[in-house]
Amino acid sequence: MEISSYELFEVPPRWVFLKLETNTGLVGWGEPIVEGHARTTVAAVSEIIDNYLIGKDPLDIERHWQAMYRGRHFRGGPILMSSIAGIDQALWDIKGKHYDAPIYDLLGGRARDRIQIYQWIGGDSPAAVADAAVSEVENGYNTLKMAPIGQFRRIDSPETVNKACERVAAVRDAVGDSIDIAVDFRGRVTKGMAKWAATEMDEYDPMFYEEPLLPEHFEALPDIAAHSKTPFASGERIYSRWEFKHTIDNGLVDIIQPDPSHAGGISETKKIANMAEAADIQVALHCPLGPIAFAACVQLDMSVHNAINQAQNLDIHDPTNNEHLAYLEDPTVFDFKNGYVTPPDGPGLGIDIDEEYVRRQSQTELDWQNPIWYHHDGSIAEW
């Protein structure tokens, strides 16, 4: 069996799907994307497959991963690692179908039966975000994630910190103490403001603070942690085990959040998770992407002992009339119940892609870009 051809599809809202074909008819799917750089990622995936993978046996996944990573002088970074990630996902999908087994079986079997997932909530006011929280708890979620702030100035005012705390307080008051609330700083704050905001928000018992600082400032995390009781989580903008090594070895966070569509795919993410387990660091895989990426995450979650929660942006509780899950032949394949997802038991990723729908959606003109934010003085702010 050998890789014979491939196709790439840019589809709404901002995703790229890879279809990897073999000469035996087996097909694998992956989701290689850097949000806001879709065309660049497509070009990188094509370069890798055209120059290396065509004609190779898809079952030799580890050799292919090493060749895609080490076979060029320049390596790493979001574009190349995300390109490798989508290819790696598709190779695992083919391998699972070849052996008629879910990917988690090929990774050593189940470490658990289901994984808890969380739902994003937002709103323009504390009351609005509290209402959203109540609604999602009624939808069955027992873990929520929210951003307490839009923008913070580099050193901001008590009024701004109080407004951020009011949002978190409103959610806690609305849902009570039995619901977990993850607070996402999104790397928008400086060291000084992260220290201040984290200390003030501790009162509302967050599950964790996500991205209190950007990776380039991780050396300051112990200073902030000394002022807060809440666990720290980060890692969506780190792309390999070598980049995670310093963070893990030095215990800079309590929870790592690699993204299997950015951090080298299923192969690399499993290695990163195993490194974290040795340091008593937990895993909550990042996934604000489509159903292929989510399927890859759930396969990993089943085989990763220290996985505690799974991100998703698919409104997984409501598969009917769901534009994000419409790319699947069976949108109900992710069995959601009581805040948990049970993995598909089909081979490979466990999902069947509605290829006709993918092709139709790929005709949509797309050029998704995140907004660029500015501070009041005109300088660039973190989005």
In a domain, 37, yes or no: yes
99 & 158 share domain: no
Question: Residue 150's pLDDT is what?
Answer: 80
Segment 201-209 mean pLDDT: 98
270 & 289 share domain: yes
**Segment 119-145, tens digit of pLDDT:** 999 999 999 999 999 999 999 999 999
116 & 163 share domain: yes
**Segment 343-382, tens digit of pLDDT:** 999 999 999 999 999 999 999 988 899 999 998 899 999 8
Judged against a pLDDT cut of 90, whether residue 226 lies above it is answered with yes
Q: Which residues constitute the domain of residue 95?
A: 3-105
Judged against a pLDDT cut of 90, whether residue 151 lies above it is answered with no
In a domain, 68, yes or no: yes
**Segment 286-314, tens digit of pLDDT:** 999 999 999 999 999 999 999 999 999 99
61 & 149 share domain: no
CATH number at residue 56: 3.30.390.10
In a domain, 353, yes or no: no
SS (HEC) of the chain: CCEEEEEEEEECCCEEEEEEEECCCCEEEECCCCCCCHHHHHHHHHHHHHHHHCCCCCCCHHHHHHHHHHCCCCCCHHHHHHHHHHHHHHHHHHHHHHCCCEHHHHCCCCCCCCEEECEECCCCCHHHHHHHHHHHHHCCCCEEEECCCCCCCCCCCHHHHHHHHHHHHHHHHHHCCCCEEEEECCCCCCHHHHHHHHHHHHHHCCCEEECCCCHHHHHHHHHHHCCCCCCEEECCCCCCHHHHHHHHHCCCCCEECCCCCCCCHHHHHHHHHHHHHHCCCEEEECCCCCHHHHHHHHHHHHHCCCEEEECCCCCCCCCCCCCCHHHECCCCCCEEECCEEECCCCCECCCCECHHHHHHHCCCCCCCCCCCEECCCCCEECC
Supply the pTM of this predicted model: 0.96
**Segment 84-109, tens digit of pLDDT:** 999 999 999 999 999 999 999 999 99
241 & 176 share domain: yes
- Number of structural domains the chain divides into: 2
In a domain, 330, yes or no: yes
Question: Residue 254's pLDDT is what?
Answer: 98
72 & 124 share domain: no
Domain stops at, among 74, 105, 136: 105
- pLDDT-derived band at 21 (thresholds 50, 70, 90) equals very high
Question: Residue 154's pLDDT is what?
Answer: 87
112 & 253 share domain: yes
Judged against a pLDDT cut of 90, whether residue 2 lies above it is answered with yes
Question: Residue 149's pLDDT is what?
Answer: 80
CATH number at residue 336: 3.20.20.120
